[in-house]
Structure 1
């Protein structure tokens, strides 16, 4: 009877993914209100990788999109990441669904249908790994058209921002000296917190200027560092990080409006605006280059072909492409720096090895009763060896 009751309850339990709806057409506003177990309801054509990673970081269980998450214009990476992580993705439910679904409703997603209790409130396309893979294959066939569009956008961007890109005109002064110093720029890209952890030895050894971009500023603080500069929208950055830095550089629009500037001023933190069409990541790189950095190491910034195309709809690609051309050989990805440091034998390891060998030698001499003279000679040898290690490893 007990087993029969359990089977009966299982048969009557609603199928699918359940969670509390958080509704907003604007993804940036929605992300601020999402929490674990929520279902994000938004209107976003072509979910890119950055948005998908933000949704995963918020620990949502489902996503309902009024628009197609893959339009076919280019092979965007977000839907692939969501479904591979087990997130229920219901696509193309239509704009009317955002009026029907209210914030705080408890929804259930099953078979491409959005339910409120037992009532259907919206219907769309349930994305699966196979469906997303097929859509990406079709989207890749249109990449040549996207590359042509990218070329045209790059020329237009250079026409508008020529003085900034070529001559550094408009780059604001900042109170942090960067000339002939290394600069570490941390942005909130893929696995950026893990990548920053792998750079502990590099940071300890080279003491670079620490620049946090948007979420990267909070990541620096979480890792125990204080950012020297922050570049980005202060509204999306924690108060702890804002108060810890020397100055905040706020990207400004063409009309001079700088979103989030009021929040910085309310916290009593120094701020300066940076009017430019590029995104915050590119502005951080241009700041470092214009102020004479000898090397710029990036964390959480990716600029391969897939990333260029993935962010094609945002208009940021020409900025990213030209900015990286501007920095040239000064620009190094953090993964490469971490790999180089892993391959080196650290001074601490060498010192531990030498110290162990010396200890064994001293104990052996003392135990053999050879005499104080030999112990004094061993001490002189230890001092010489220590000087040699110091000279080799600095």
Structure 2
């Protein structure tokens, strides 16, 4: 991914505006090209890293450890591969010491305000990230054991929902016997949506967007039929698109996203579940009778499950087992599916039909009379056009 950085390179380091937030997802909404991003994100995941790179940041300063060693997360590799300086293990006080938009100097692993040291950490590069990733992979067996334990715990909590579908709400959008496209703003979602355009055009699937996936759907030129999530990363434009809104609530009934919808005057259906909003969307589609579920930007491979973190792996894994053969990854659809009728084939068919009509008309007496009539009308039209200019 290429971008232009509006930063000032000087012999003493990098001088650029600084913006900070404890939540990376919130910070990426305010970042501008060339900014230094100050985050607090242990085990920086790939989706967050993609967002930071996409914002065109000139450097990333992480209060936490970008690779803690619990599992081989992919975010730091993406940051350093893009040529963006990454500084780890910075004093957490930096989040309160810096002011949004003030220009500071980053030299090596030290952040300066004039001659004053604001923060100091550990500079990461390709070699250090590769070594940390290798160490994290060495302890992968421990993470898989934790994954198995989390899976059993989640199954015990949600067995009624997973096994019998008890708790899935009734919604107004009909999905019985239809294809459903679930869009999560995750891995390669833009490329997947582009690849699925012929499929969407022909099958007209019900589009379920998960949180920020609603804006991704609208950016691609479509309108979501249903939006599912806690609505912390959905724009007001997406909320007013006419989609049916389903709020993902905790099992105890708390629904943080419901207050925002109430304040904006929107009605919503509440879906209490322990899993992620991605899981809720899949269970909603399956429980509503969808015949096929195509997933965009979701977690599908072991590497992606690990990058998501242990706490969120179990629910997604079990939800995919529940949905079973209905679920197809977008990449699989784009590779196997081709539009049944290409534009060139359709144009050729129209040309062949016209040629057949002309041959039939020329070879029959009635057709010759009709052709003579058309020729006379054409001559009259040409005569009329000539009279306009003479």
Distance 1:118 1:330, change over 3 A: same
CA distance in 2, matches of 1:332, 1:297: 5
| Other-structure match for 2:24 | 27
- Are 1:89 and 2:94 an aligned pair? no
Distance 1:361 1:56, change over 3 A: same
Query: Normalised by the size of structure 1, how large is the TM-score?
Result: 0.85
- Are 1:333 and 2:329 an aligned pair? yes
Matches within 5 A, 1:215-364: 215-313=212-310, 315-342=311-338, 344=339, 346-357=341-352
- Deviation by residue 1:47-73 (Cα, 9 ceiling, x = unmatched): 111221222233322211111100111
Q: Deviation of residue 208 (structure 1)?
A: 0.7
Aligned residues: 361
Match of 2:99 among 96, 102, 115: 102
Match of 2:186 among 161, 171, 189: 189
What is the RMSD computed on CA atoms of the aligned residues? 2.4
When structure 1 is superposed on structure 2, of 137-146 and 22-31 the one drifting more is 22-31
Q: Deviation of residue 224 (structure 1)?
A: 1.9
CA distance in 2, matches of 1:375, 1:330: 56
CA distance in 1, matches of 2:67, 2:301: 20
Q: Deviation of residue 280 (structure 1)?
A: 0.7
Do the aligned residues in 2 keep the contact of 1:105 with 1:116 (CA within 8 Å)? no
Q: Deviation of residue 371 (structure 1)?
A: 4.8
Do the aligned residues in 2 keep the contact of 1:230 with 1:245 (CA within 8 Å)? no
Distance 1:294 1:119, change over 3 A: same
CA distance in 2, matches of 1:274, 1:334: 25
- Deviation by residue 1:198-230 (Cα, 9 ceiling, x = unmatched): 211111111111101111101111222111100
Q: Deviation of residue 129 (structure 1)?
A: 1.6
Gaps in structure 1 of 5+ consecutive residues: 1-11, 380-394
Q: Deviation of residue 345 (structure 1)?
A: 5.2
Gaps in structure 2 of 5+ consecutive residues: 1-8, 371-390
CA distance in 1, matches of 2:194, 2:334: 9
Distance 1:371 1:237, change over 3 A: closer
Query: Normalised by the size of structure 2, how large is the TM-score?
Result: 0.86
- Deviation by residue 1:106-131 (Cα, 9 ceiling, x = unmatched): 12223212122343221111111222
Distance 1:375 1:307, change over 3 A: farther
Do the aligned residues in 1 keep the contact of 2:87 with 2:122 (CA within 8 Å)? yes
Match of 1:132 among 129, 134, 138: 129
Q: Deviation of residue 17 (structure 1)?
A: 3.3
Do the aligned residues in 2 keep the contact of 1:246 with 1:270 (CA within 8 Å)? no
Q: Deviation of residue 256 (structure 1)?
A: 1.8
Distance 1:362 1:48, change over 3 A: same
Q: Deviation of residue 362 (structure 1)?
A: 7.9
Q: Deviation of residue 374 (structure 1)?
A: 9.3
